[in-house]
Chain A
């Protein structure tokens, strides 16, 4: 692939081949990160049971369609699309050929599904011991709850996140994002890269059992240890912090505009009072030390919001950051697209999609200096590259391809 300047830079995973049988978020994002770094990734889908992400909003121009869905487009850039019916024996045959082409297989079906098709790790590794298979599921391949069904939006409750989000006087609050679906893909990439390292050494592949439940619990470890050793459950604290005040999102000028401010030290507090033109607060004994500010936090927040509400969130952020105080606009979807830092980092990049035209896709949140990632192609339409994959990558003859197409094995 080429960079904008036309020079060719090496990619970290040049030559690595991935068959991505997964769907929804965790598997597809794991595969996409590999694709952003030069791996050739074939996303396998089925027309009879399309990826749920192809069916939910947002949709390009608000018009529904399997090839117009935003989330699918965001999580499958740089991939080839193959549409295959795995409920036909010849479909399974094509899948097997794709696996013999691949270095890495990613799948996220209910545990046991691949095995029923004869595509499980045990089946494939018999003839191809170097195959690496990542199976990701909500709670793992084994155990009494292995066959749990559902989505990340609910799974985060099982993991414990919802318990910790919300106000002390109200119930647990959903995040409106399938949060664990984004905590797990980096672990998936790590597992695959560790497997490639091992294969480099021993020649042997492996089966990876990635439980989204287990991987995500690491992000709550201190709270779990706190309960385990102290019997203490911190519960819901709104936006408060044990050791900082002010520490909240404050209402600003305009409709639903907010600015987050966090002040940890007494020096920061004094600076804050000076730069916002309220030097008298710095001398107020109710707020002199962090202990005082924590004790009188309700009053402190009321006073502060009395000031913020008359100012634009951006103005507050700039003023405070210029004086070394941590502050940030509570960014909505429009703000993040226009954020100067994210623009500078090229976090959102325009890509072209066969049906949607140009849209903004996300690039990796880390940058490799020698082998930079590249987000160069929009997500595939359903089956967009079936012919290319079958004839060019798998070496099928045109007759065979057309035959499979007419039998409905391929679409």
Chain B
């Protein structure tokens, strides 16, 4: 990034890790781990605290070489990197004492238990804020800490359903669809939780006061639905899913198209964005394939002004043209000619994507437990002043027990041994 190479600042300092002076206690499972991971990437010293049998997300698909070993879950790997790890049974009295000692000197606690669980153990925000008034505690749950659904059971598909996100996707002749690939809702909830955590952190920076951040996955995903509830509020009707089309004045504006080696996303724009369509027609014309499309004034007509017959005939011509070209060729022309079109990328396409490569996006994470190095997504963003933590693999179960309990809390070898025998650690 030539323009964004860190320039030497007035004080002569280079880029820094913004949260390197802070410690996070991470009690989350898969419902909140992305939140803590973000703080870790920003340089915070994150200590993952797992029950002695391990975080349940160590059992989540997919696994390295399909080996369902607790150190080989790729879900666990993706969202628990860059942290140290200890085991601790916070349901045991001795475990609660140790947790409080850690919380006294921590800056953040992130958790994703069902609402009320930590309060019952005497480790909720009200208890911990007595010990440490500047503590920020962040809770990520399906529905939030209060309300009639507070105690309800949730899963990704149920959150997708209740948030309104699911109703939008899928062909009208079949069931609504959730987003696949990997479960989205708690990741979205966790990212918004991390945003709230950083807002609270800024307020603490100025006032010294901590607070409780209460994030809801349903509300976060609901936000991601492009405001379609507003059709009800403003126009008085329910927006229905339309599968592979947008409905514009009765015309089916197709969104995904077949091409020679897969699929692309493109829209036949008219009016304000008609210039994008004109650019495609110019390409077609350069190959002698534009036909009647050449004569249409794409910028001047709107969807409302054309007949369905014309529209469908034009759609067919574009479709036939795309089928003769590859994803790569179409993307190259889109970039050169300035029209809006992207390939439907597969994981393979993504790993080979030239833009990501040119920006040095992918990072190699050393992981001897998984035969060497793993290629993983890189920085969340780039900045002239941020030095991202060199990515490290997640902690092995109890990997830093000695370092934290003996080194930091000063427990003796005998005490540690006793706590292990009592299943506290």
A366 lies within 8 A of B215 (CB): yes
Name the B residues within 8 Å of A300 (CB-CB): none
A283 interfacial contact with B, CB 8 Å: no
B250 interfacial contact with A, CB 8 Å: no
Interface size grouping (class) on chain B: 35 or more
A375 interfacial contact with B, CB 8 Å: no
A3 interfacial contact with B, CB 8 Å: no
B158 lies within 8 A of A326 (CB): yes
* Proximity string of chain B (356-390) to chain A, C-beta cutoff 8 Å, 1 when within and 0 when not: 10110100000000100011111111111110000
- The answer to whether A193 and B202 touch (CB under 8 A), given A149-B340, A327-B158, is yes
B166 lies within 8 A of A260 (CB): yes
B194 lies within 8 A of A326 (CB): no
- The answer to whether A241 and B157 touch (CB under 8 A), given A165-B177, A214-B361, A342-B222, is yes
B181 lies within 8 A of A367 (CB): no
* Proximity string of chain B (205-223) to chain A, C-beta cutoff 8 Å, 1 when within and 0 when not: 1010111111110111011
- The answer to whether A204 and B9 touch (CB under 8 A), given A140-B359, A213-B355, A331-B167, is yes
- The answer to whether A183 and B38 touch (CB under 8 A), given A203-B10, A249-B161, is no
Within 8 A of B (CB), among A151-207: 151, 153-167, 170-179, 181-183, 185-191, 193-198, 200-207
| Choice from A178, A337, A345, A365 contacting B223 with Cβ under 8 Å | A365
B312 interfacial contact with A, CB 8 Å: no
B222 lies within 8 A of A365 (CB): yes
Q: How far is the CB of B61 from chain A (nearest CB, A)?
A: 5
A247 lies within 8 A of B231 (CB): no
Q: Which of A191, A329, A331 has the most CB of B within 10 A?
A: A331
Name the B residues within 8 Å of A347 (CB-CB): 216, 219, 222
Q: How far is the CB of B158 from chain A (nearest CB, A)?
A: 4
Within the assembled complex, what's the spacing in Å between the Cα atoms of A146 and B163? 33
- The answer to whether A163 and B220 touch (CB under 8 A), given A177-B225, A239-B175, is no
Query: Which residue from chain A places its CB closest to the CB of B143 in the assembled complex?
Result: A341
A232 interfacial contact with B, CB 8 Å: yes
A173 lies within 8 A of B244 (CB): yes
**Which secondary structure characterizes the binding site on chain B?**
mixed
Within the assembled complex, what's the spacing in Å between the Cα atoms of A325 and B266? 41
Within the assembled complex, what's the spacing in Å between the Cα atoms of A171 and B167? 18
A160 lies within 8 A of B345 (CB): yes
- The answer to whether A249 and B175 touch (CB under 8 A), given A144-B358, A160-B345, A370-B209, is yes
Name the A residues within 8 Å of B3 (CB-CB): 122, 141-142
B74 lies within 8 A of A214 (CB): no
Name the B residues within 8 Å of A210 (CB-CB): 381
Name the B residues within 8 Å of A150 (CB-CB): 340-342
B256 interfacial contact with A, CB 8 Å: yes
A143 lies within 8 A of B158 (CB): no
B162 lies within 8 A of A331 (CB): yes
* Proximity string of chain B (224-264) to chain A, C-beta cutoff 8 Å, 1 when within and 0 when not: 11111111111100111111101000000001101000011
Q: How far is the CB of A155 from chain B (nearest CB, A)?
A: 6
Name the B residues within 8 Å of A366 (CB-CB): 192-193, 195-196, 213-216, 219-220
Name the B residues within 8 Å of A328 (CB-CB): 154, 157-159, 161-162
B322 interfacial contact with A, CB 8 Å: no
B298 interfacial contact with A, CB 8 Å: no
A6 interfacial contact with B, CB 8 Å: no
Within 8 A of A (CB), among B173-203: 174-182, 184, 187-189, 191-196, 198-203
Within 8 A of B (CB), among A235-266: 236-239, 241-244, 247-251, 256, 258-262, 264
Name the A residues within 8 Å of B382 (CB-CB): 140, 208-209, 211
B108 interfacial contact with A, CB 8 Å: no
| Choice from A144, A203, A345 contacting B216 with Cβ under 8 Å | A345
| Choice from B156, B176, B213 contacting A249 with Cβ under 8 Å | B176
Name the A residues within 8 Å of B62 (CB-CB): 222-223, 225-226, 230, 232, 234
| Choice from A60, A189, A219 contacting B234 with Cβ under 8 Å | A60
A206 lies within 8 A of B385 (CB): yes
Name the A residues within 8 Å of B258 (CB-CB): 171
B305 interfacial contact with A, CB 8 Å: no
- The answer to whether A178 and B375 touch (CB under 8 A), given A190-B198, A224-B351, A366-B195, is no
Q: Which of B192, B234, B331, B335 has the most CB of A within 10 A?
A: B234
Given known contacts A208-B383, A321-B149, A336-B162, what 15 new A-B pairs fall within 8 Å (CB)? A129-B9, A143-B358, A154-B341, A166-B170, A176-B169, A202-B385, A203-B11, A206-B386, A233-B347, A329-B161, A331-B163, A333-B228, A362-B222, A365-B192, A369-B212
12 residue pairs A–B, Cβ–Cβ below 8 Å: A12-B202, A59-B234, A142-B2, A201-B16, A210-B381, A214-B356, A218-B377, A227-B351, A243-B61, A258-B175, A340-B149, A367-B144
